Structure 1
Amino acid sequence: MWISYVVLLPLLAGVPLVGAVGPLVNFDYSSYRGTARSTGVTEWLGIRFAAPPLGELRWRAPQAPLQNDTVIDAVAHGHICLTTRRTATPDPPDDPKTSEDCPFLDVYAPSSASTTTKLPVYLFIQGGGFNSNSNANYNGTGLIQAADMNIIVVNFNYRVGLYGFLASQEVVDNGDTNVGLLDQRMVMQWVQKYITLFGGDPSHVVLGGDSAGGASLLYHLTAYGGRDDGLFQAAAAESASFGNMLNVSQSQYQYDAIIERVGCGYDKVQDTIGCLRSLNVSYLQAHNFNIPYPDGGPRARAPLYMYQPTIDGGIITDYSYRLLQTGDFIRVPVIFGDDTNGGTVFTPPNTSNYSEMDQFLVDQFNAMTTNQLEIMNAMYPPAETYPDSGPLWRTVSNAYGEMRYMCPSQAVGSAYSEYSASGTWIYRYNVMDPNQTEKGYGVPHTVEINAIWGPYNVAPQTAPASYYPGQSNGGIIPVIQGYWTSFIRSYDPNTYRVAGSPEWVQWTAWAKDRLVFQTNATAMEVVDHGQQARCAYLQSIGILTQQ
């Protein structure tokens, strides 16, 4: 039987190969020296992919990196992008790991790769509600090892919050909207230009992402009305979020509020955006927080995530639900899915009645009507209760989790099964961690990311204790990594799945088959009729709720 040379690479890890990529990589703008680890993986940390977005480059599309003729030791992660606070409460002192100058990426590649191996590339977009970089600096070693040393992993930072998604007429006239998404696109273009230097194949790029990163995948699938620029060939989204989408004029209140808070108001200066660009970032950051939507009433609170991707007629042409309905998206293989209890980490634990539930939902989706809320109240009866929480906490969690996460992913699956023959797979992650279950969180938002990357490769102390080797949920790690790395390598989660794991059947709008991940019990299931009915309603009002 013929065996490819690539399959033999893990056997040769640590052994110098003719033509193997060395730690020193030369770009046309700089050179970076990585580190070859005993794991058989070489890592390059903190590679700059764009010029510092400071001063006059605030709220402008990313620019090419500046020329640097010195060799840079790529041994430390780059700065994480600045966060927008949910409330006006001051943050602790500035975190030295964060900065406005944050366009940096990391590359992980098998040390035995060469410029001719053309390995598949997994390009990961982290989440954080478009207001923070919440999954920064994950280590790609575990995924590479799970893929038999046959992939390359790239992850990166992108501008978020005030710096990434400020929108107004002033920004349109003298800047760019959605620069956080343009940062992501800049990294995709960087991969096209340079990934061969690490042994990667620019014609085999699979996008990954969780939460806002998963939402970003859909924004790129529908970018410019579904224009395919050849930047990627497949996408795997975890817990993709369908947030509240405003257009430029609807976003104007955010701009008007920040210029008033920092002394750049219309009554003080003529060039308000120039004034904003001139401000010291520490001063600007002190005033960087969310506010309620206009006309929200006396009980209104700021949404969890105020700055969001904006319908600007450019990279985003319409609501996500409408673009799915009209088929205006790139036809590539996709995975979309969610956690059973995706709303629990977001909703107020003290929610006591439907009035409070409705206020929370309107605070997040300001276009919701009284009639829509009444229907949702009927669809979501009182659920189970937990100590130290209000009687409707799990009820509002169920409603928010399905509206923002679970039902949109199923809508993606149905649209792709209708318009695309490339392959569509949907999942539900239902791995129970004892500690999370006891606290009432169930299987919370994006918890599957710890299994996909492996508990040792995410941020310290964030993976549930049960996910580590020898613990109750340790067995789910190789199973989900098998599906994910198979998809990265072959655009099909079944090709290299772990022996004994079930075939992941494709989703169709009529059958609604999805894979449910459970420790020692992963299997296909049909979405229950109750969720089918609730999702049908939520999807029917998706454009009206500005998603």
Structure 2
Amino acid sequence: MAIRVLLACLGAFASSAVLAAPAPRASAPTVTLDSGTFTGVASGKINKFLGIPYAQPPTGDLRFNLPQSVAAYSGSYDATSFGNECPQQAINLPLGNGLLANETNFIINTAYRLITGPIGEDCLHLNVWTPASATPNSKLPVAMWIFGGGFEIGGTSIYDGGGIVQRSLDLNEPVVVVSINYRVSAWGFLAGSEVKAAGVGNLGLQDQREALRWIQKYIGLFGGDPSKVTIWGESAGAISVALQMVTNGGNTEGLFRGAFMESGSPIPVGDISHGQKYYDSIVAATGCSGASDTLQCLRGVPLNTLQKAVDATPGIFSYQSLNLAWLPRVDGVFLTDTPQNLVLSGSVAKVPFITGDCDDEGTLFSLTNLNVTTDSETRTYIHDTYMPAASTDEVNKLLTYYTADITNGSPYDTGIFNALTPQYKRLAGIQGDLVFQAPRRFFLQKQAGAQKAWSFLSKRLKAFPALGSAHATDILNVFAGGDMTSYLVQFVNNLDPNGKANLLQWPQYTTASPKQMTFLDGLTPREVTDDTYRAEGISYITELSLKYPL
């Protein structure tokens, strides 16, 4: 089960790439960028161009440095396969020792890598899927996909944008799809005072911004319209979308006109100094402690040495769970304040957006703390892991809203079932609301009066044992050709999820009428519901997260 869960989290449910029938082969398409000719792949009515470098390789002195624009292209380029994925942490599941743990480690860190492609620091590439009929005069709307993976793992190679383009053609609402790689883990989100002083925090977010600049310059040659770009992502990718909305005083610089977020909003993270201990640990592990400039020393460390040091830091499946070692933090450049404070100050791009969550966001991340089984242990875990500055009374008040009654915990609406421990469903509820549900509702309630917004809740796959409608299960609904694919295509075209597809009308979210589209299993696949569940608990979690950001 853990293997299936992990693959869901990483996005391997993007099965259209595996299950789609081979399309008839046509002559290889080409596109000329500057003086460079890129040869892609023709697949039916769709052309794809893979592995295009959008920035200089972040190697040598460019490691732990801001992305640099790619030089003008010249010569011939093979754009028929995905480029490298960026370096990332090894995935360590909390399975203890023994045969099962060893086999799982092999499957995840060896076999899984075989289907996701090679890893290397020369990884700042993107991929383009476009209708074969598109020309530079087509001016089609563009969707830019940002993958998830807890800001620590992930890549583009398991996501096939061709299915999105095909649905857009079926709806006669053609779009161009772009997916991008960006630096993750320590390579993309190094933290600490040294990083802040050098102005090189949040490099993964800076990479995304650079990819958006590339789109402005080149996407027209693929048939796209640079003035009609929607940024779209899931999990860390959705959080990235939200942070692209709140950076730069909310000024989009004309880089995008819409945003679509699956399980991610402006999260409650604090100053980059909160990650100092992780910086210090890799400095020590790589032998850089005695250097006069430890950051410059890290730029020269052999990749294998740096990899081992990063692998020794906590990952997304560590005991501390969603209190991640490597993630966006306030760096004074890309994020000048906590994301939620930026929202409160009005630093938000005034573009239409969609944001939503799965019903049981916290279950996947509560498998790592199954040894927390009593009220006292839960109180200690929440305080020490997420809110060490909070008072005992504050933590106790939180636990009055999220009780140990397993019939009220997550997976929600499953009664006495799925209680792996007496506290599992309780922790799943708290962790899911703290990082996903509460930030989403906060963002909507603050912004729905200033711009058009829509919200959704995915309650599909509720019968998934122990996990329910878990984090990342909604990926199926987009990449495997579900109804959300049509809503996405219509939003990218019209900045409204409603349109030609014969689907239930999706009402706009307002503070007076907080309606959301709810995706369901069974004979009634969709219904409109109120975004009012767990009102007191979510409100209090928001209050605490504003006071005690991670």
The C-alpha deviation readout for 1:144-192, integer Å capped at 9, x for no partner, is 1211260000001100111001123323444611111000001100000
Are 1:483 and 2:501 an aligned pair?
Answer: no
Contact 1:24 1:31 (8 Å CA) reproduced = yes
Are 1:544 and 2:547 an aligned pair?
Answer: yes
The 5-angstrom pairing of residues 520-535 of structure 1 reads 520-521=523-524, 522-528=526-532, 530-535=533-538
Residues 215/113 of structure 1: CA separation in 2 closer, same or farther (3 Å cut): same
Contact 1:136 1:157 (8 Å CA) reproduced = no
Counterpart CA distance in 1 for 2:70 and 2:444 is 38
Contact 1:225 1:317 (8 Å CA) reproduced = no
Contact 1:292 1:303 (8 Å CA) reproduced = no
Contact 1:123 1:207 (8 Å CA) reproduced = yes
Q: 2:227 aligns with which of 187, 194, 203?
A: 203
The alpha carbon displacement at 1:292 in A equals 7.1
Contact 2:186 2:310 (8 Å CA) reproduced = yes
Residue matched to 1:308: 327
Contact 2:401 2:536 (8 Å CA) reproduced = no
Residues 134/411 of structure 1: CA separation in 2 closer, same or farther (3 Å cut): farther
Letter in 2 for 1:34: G
Q: TM-score, normalised by structure 2?
A: 0.83
Query: Number of aligned pairs?
Result: 493
Are 1:256 and 2:286 an aligned pair?
Answer: no
Are 1:446 and 2:472 an aligned pair?
Answer: yes
Q: 1:383 aligns with which of 403, 406, 409?
A: 406
Q: 1:122 aligns with which of 143, 153, 174?
A: 143
Are 1:36 and 2:42 an aligned pair?
Answer: yes
Residue matched to 1:219: 243
Q: 2:458 aligns with which of 429, 432, 447?
A: 429
Contact 1:327 1:415 (8 Å CA) reproduced = no
The alpha carbon displacement at 1:308 in A equals 1.4
Counterpart CA distance in 2 for 1:372 and 1:84 is 34
Counterpart CA distance in 2 for 1:303 and 1:146 is 35
Higher share of residues assigned helix? 2
Unaligned runs of 5+ in 1: 1-12, 294-298, 456-476
Residue matched to 1:510: 512
Q: Pick which of 301-310 and 322-331 moved more.
A: 301-310
Q: 2:425 aligns with which of 372, 376, 394?
A: 394
Counterpart CA distance in 2 for 1:205 and 1:67 is 23
Contact 2:82 2:157 (8 Å CA) reproduced = no
Residue matched to 1:317: 336
Counterpart CA distance in 1 for 2:527 and 2:490 is 17
Residue matched to 1:460: none
Residues 308/368 of structure 1: CA separation in 2 closer, same or farther (3 Å cut): farther
The alpha carbon displacement at 1:353 in A equals 1.8
The alpha carbon displacement at 1:86 in A equals 6.8
Residues 176/69 of structure 1: CA separation in 2 closer, same or farther (3 Å cut): same
The alpha carbon displacement at 1:399 in A equals 1.1
Residue matched to 1:355: 376
The alpha carbon displacement at 1:65 in A equals 2.3
Contact 1:239 1:337 (8 Å CA) reproduced = yes
- SS of the residue aligned with 2:142? strand
Counterpart CA distance in 2 for 1:244 and 1:302 is 15
Residues 446/365 of structure 1: CA separation in 2 closer, same or farther (3 Å cut): farther
The C-alpha deviation readout for 1:401-440, integer Å capped at 9, x for no partner, is 11111121111111221222xx110111111254x1xx12
The 5-angstrom pairing of residues 218-297 of structure 1 reads 218-240=242-264, 243-265=267-289, 268-289=290-311, 291=313
Percent of aligned pairs sharing the same letter: 29
The 5-angstrom pairing of residues 146-165 of structure 1 reads 146-148=167-169, 150-165=174-189
Contact 1:451 1:480 (8 Å CA) reproduced = yes
Residues 280/482 of structure 1: CA separation in 2 closer, same or farther (3 Å cut): same
Residues 446/88 of structure 1: CA separation in 2 closer, same or farther (3 Å cut): closer
Residue matched to 2:20: none
Unaligned runs of 5+ in 2: 1-22, 95-101, 408-415
Letter in 1 for 2:351: V
Counterpart CA distance in 1 for 2:184 and 2:206 is 11
Residue matched to 2:30: 24
Are 1:75 and 2:74 an aligned pair?
Answer: no
Residue matched to 1:370: 392
Residues 353/510 of structure 1: CA separation in 2 closer, same or farther (3 Å cut): farther
Residues 151/494 of structure 1: CA separation in 2 closer, same or farther (3 Å cut): same
Letter in 2 for 1:195: I
Residues 491/243 of structure 1: CA separation in 2 closer, same or farther (3 Å cut): closer
Counterpart CA distance in 1 for 2:235 and 2:338 is 17
Letter in 2 for 1:363: T
- SS of the residue aligned with 1:525? strand
Contact 1:486 1:495 (8 Å CA) reproduced = yes
Letter in 1 for 2:459: N
Q: 1:413 aligns with which of 427, 444, 466?
A: 444
- SS of the residue aligned with 1:419? coil
Contact 1:367 1:546 (8 Å CA) reproduced = no
Counterpart CA distance in 1 for 2:379 and 2:155 is 28
Counterpart CA distance in 1 for 2:269 and 2:250 is 18
